[in-house]
Amino acid sequence: GAVVVFVFCCCCSSGVTGENKPIQAFVIPHSHMDVGWVYTIQESMHAYGANVYTSVTEELSKAGDRRFIAVEQEFFRLWWDTVATDSHRRQVRQLVKEGRFEFIIGGQVMHDEAVTDLDDEILQMTEGHGFLYETFGVRPQFSWHVDPFGASATTPVLFALAGFNAHLISRIDYDLKETMQKNKKLQFVWRGSPSLKAQQEIFTHTMDQFSYCTPSYLPFSNSSGFYWNGVALFPDPPKDGVYPNMSLPVTKDTVDAYAHTMVENIKQRAAWFRTNHVLWPWGCDKQFYNSSVQFNNMDPLMKYINQNSKELGVTVQYSTLSEYFQAIYKSNLTWDARGSEDFLPYSTEPYQAWTGFYASRNVLKGVARQASSQLHAAETLFTRYRISFPDGPVAKDWALGKLRALRWAVSEVQHHDGITGTESPKVADMYLQHLTQAMMGVEELLAAMEQHVIVYNPLAWNITNIINLTVTLANAAVFDDEGQPVPAQVRSAHSNGTYDLFIMVELGGLQHRKYLIKFSETSCSGSAKCSWTYEAKRVLFERRSSRYRTRTGRRLLPVLNECYKLMFDQDTNLLHSITYLPEKTTVRMTQDFWEYHANGDVEAGPISDNYIFSASIVRLFSSQEEGDKDYAYSITTRVPECFGTKVQCHRLEQTYSLGPLRLNTEVILRTSSSLKNNRTLYTDDNGYQMMKRPYRNFTSNTFARNYFPMVRAAYIEDDLSRLVLVSDRAHGVSSQANGQVEVMLHRRLWNNLPWNLGYNLTLNDSSVVRPTLWMMLGSVGATSKLYQREATELQHRPVLWQKEPRSSSVHSVVLPPNLHLLSFSIPGWNYSSNHDVHLSHIHSGVDLHSEPDYGRVLLRIMHLFEEGEDPELSKPVTIDFKDVLKGIGEVKAMEERSLTGTWDVSSLQRWKWKTADNSETSKTLHSFNVTISPKEIRTFFIHFSSKNL
């Protein structure tokens, strides 16, 4: 969802390339339907979404040469389930079988690539792919990532692992795209991961400067170009079918002008590519809701061009994306290989760096990650429950319904105008409502499966962690399920009279434990019964104004644990230095909040908005105003004090409170250190891999173009030390000075750009946000062993809920420290693992929706480390699944699948694209033993013994 500007060039190539062949244009009809953005999903379905699929289905059935690609699945699934007639469904099945109606990407949404998490990208793809495979027996093999704001190197890896043969992107830096066009470098083979081999190579097509929309400029008309159906109307479609801005119809009087306009654009595009095949997207946002008008005008236009192809030098044909890529593949050219560099950040003009959305709508970003974490925990727990209690009292259909609702909500918000924060306020409210309603449903499920004060570890590692409960009494004693006292602390009262109770929990992998909390009205200090419960040591600083910043380093207060000595400056309330005790290295370090004051007047210069960050005035800031009662900004730092070696003492946990902000303010946390990092930063791509971000100078807008997305982790380092931050939600991050890392935490903006005002996209976000960062300091070797696990543990913290006791003891499931259990769920899709058998069921009309499959478990496992990152932890790991999963049940059979489960890997033969250094990779499954190499993600169907199910 964004404005696209088209420019025509009169200086175009001739119509003949190589071997005197005419240019072959593949006209790909499509409709770009944002799952959100300006209008809610319900509004979009009503205004145009349902009509797109109804009219396209009817029009394709009328002529055998017509084509259409369906990209995002959420709208299609809503249409299929609630609008489509039996006749429409039969027509779609036939069109899909003929290859004329093609599903592209196949996920629920076209996900954002900058601020989405790996877990959620995989989830939304799996949710869409499962539906398509169960319903039609199809497996998408191409992407159409035309609108995400920049391109991650993780996305092509995931698409390759899902079985895709080619990947398509569009939004990359304007100046880079211009260079690639000029040098015919828009197509290449991408190797997104530096550790994976040929299994993740994928041919990538970058759209040219016209992007995914048909050029709208016509020299003979002021209307919307090749969109004869006009522009969609909200809230209701017009009853007479006449929409605004409908282009002139194609008649004998206009056909020649249309033909020359279309041909000239095709020739211009052809000059930017190596073959004589041109991808010509026909469609744009909210198009094809009246497909009869569209096709009835394009049909005679294409016929006219082909009848005059010798003179015009161009042939045209309706095409699916697979037909275009097959033509490219058959050209048998040798392509450049691109390594693991991504295309982030993204800029459209010299002063339009799309780096603001990394921090837009912090609350939504946090709730989306919280929902994802809760879903992961509920999936693993339900799977354990089904295996252990197949006839248990929790109704399986009810439980699966709760899980599917949260799967849908988490998938939906991954849309590139969802978690990005670039939607209108009512759409942001819609996402939050869907997430919170589904989370409440899953909380009911958790309570039904387990009963007590239960703490559940959703990770397949043994953990020692501190959980936080809000309680109303200051004196509490905590006991485990064996009646033994548990270390706990109470932090003094909040303004509402409640207290924080911190409990140290020890849990095995995928294990839950019961805890009993006993409260007392009076202190039990000195009593043998609860002498081990004590009030948390807490240091309160007086409120300081920024004018005190000149008096530093005179009164330092030490705070120590087994890993660190932190020195706090009592004159400024700020951190002064950290000493990493195991290595006796001290790093000078300060933290403070700064504000960027954004310009909101388009007449006064570049603006900041939902999408764009344009750095303006900067000032140091510690509170809203000198006389204000409440703090605008605060930091709470928890320094874990260890009990033996149990607690992760290297983890400094910081929680911030920010807001409400003044209008046109963007707030950062700036951490300044004595590290000599030369402004080089490392940030993660989607929580999967770390990317080196050297500071780059640009002709203009250098500050904003050196901001990058941090989904889970970022760090700076020098020869001696590395400073790591891991986050509970996405932020923007930068290193603008030596030894410095700044994290953008919150934004509140308004501007007078007519387009933003018209669509209510000005980000007047008055919320108070409370994000969390964990900080670590140490040598490169020490921190490289930790930060992947720390980021994963922050994402998947123990889950807590309460009820009466019932359940039996649960055995733990523990993986080696370099492997992570990415997924352990019961998808419920009802299809045969054998593709031929499944297709025969579909073609024979078997109702596959009658009963979900509760016996098939989907398990994904991921190696956390890159090749060479650590001497030991980067090695391949061999595990015996039968042994690892014995705490859950007896594994009877397992089969390896593609990333989203729809392919048996033994039958998955992806296209091999020629590069100068072709490489090979093969994987063989021997019994229940699996070897997992650095950065691999392996997906399996697991079947447990019938005595378990």
Alpha helices of 732-846 — where are they, by DSSP H? 754-759, 780-784, 787-795, 835-843
Quote the Cα angle for 240-243-246, to 5°.
125
Cβ-Cβ contacts under 8 Å for 721 (sequence gap 6 or more): 580, 585, 587, 675, 777, 778, 779, 780
Distance from C-alpha of 155 to C-alpha of 31, rounded to nearest angstrom: 22
Phi and psi, residue 841, nearest 5°:
-65, -45
Distance from C-alpha of 371 to C-alpha of 378, rounded to nearest angstrom: 10
Axis-axis angle for helices 396-412, 425-449 (nearest 10): 150
Handedness of CA 37, 38, 41, 44 (dihedral sign): negative
Within the chain, what is the greatest distance between any pair of CA atoms?
Answer: 99
Closest CA to 825 of 867, 796, 861: 861
Residues classed as catalytic: 147
Distance from C-alpha of 204 to C-alpha of 335, rounded to nearest angstrom: 10
Structure tokens at 466: 């501190």
Q: How far is CA 116 from CA 436, 569, 765, in A?
A: 19, 37, 21
Query: Is the CB of residue 136 less than 8 Å from the CB of residue 93?
Result: yes
H, E, C per residue of 181-237: HHCCCCEEEEECCCCCCHHHEEEEEECCCCCCCCCCCECCECCCCCCCCCCCCCCCC
Phi and psi, residue 850, nearest 5°:
-70, -40
Q: How far is CA 608 from CA 184, 600, 764, in A?
A: 34, 7, 12
Query: Is the CB of residue 539 less than 8 Å from the CB of residue 548?
Result: no
Distance from C-alpha of 94 to C-alpha of 136, rounded to nearest angstrom: 10
Q: What's the distance, CA 335 to chain centroid?
A: 29
Q: Is residue 892 within a helix (H) or strand (E), and if so which, with residue range?
A: strand 891-897
Distance from C-alpha of 135 to C-alpha of 138, rounded to nearest angstrom: 8
Distance from C-alpha of 54 to C-alpha of 288, rounded to nearest angstrom: 10
Distance from C-alpha of 857 to C-alpha of 813, rounded to nearest angstrom: 15
Cβ-Cβ contacts under 8 Å for 849 (sequence gap 6 or more): 134, 830
User: Within 10 Å of residue 697's Cβ, how many Cβ atoms?
Assistant: 7
Collapsing DSSP to helix, strand or coil, 509 comes out as coil
Q: What's the distance, CA 408 to chain centroid?
A: 14
Distance from C-alpha of 320 to C-alpha of 70, rounded to nearest angstrom: 10
Distance from C-alpha of 487 to C-alpha of 786, rounded to nearest angstrom: 25
Quote the Cα angle for 443-447-449, to 5°.
115
Q: How far is CA 31 from CA 53, 226, 275, in A?
A: 10, 13, 26
Distance from C-alpha of 666 to C-alpha of 748, rounded to nearest angstrom: 6
Cβ-Cβ contacts under 8 Å for 218 (sequence gap 6 or more): 225, 247, 248, 257, 258, 261
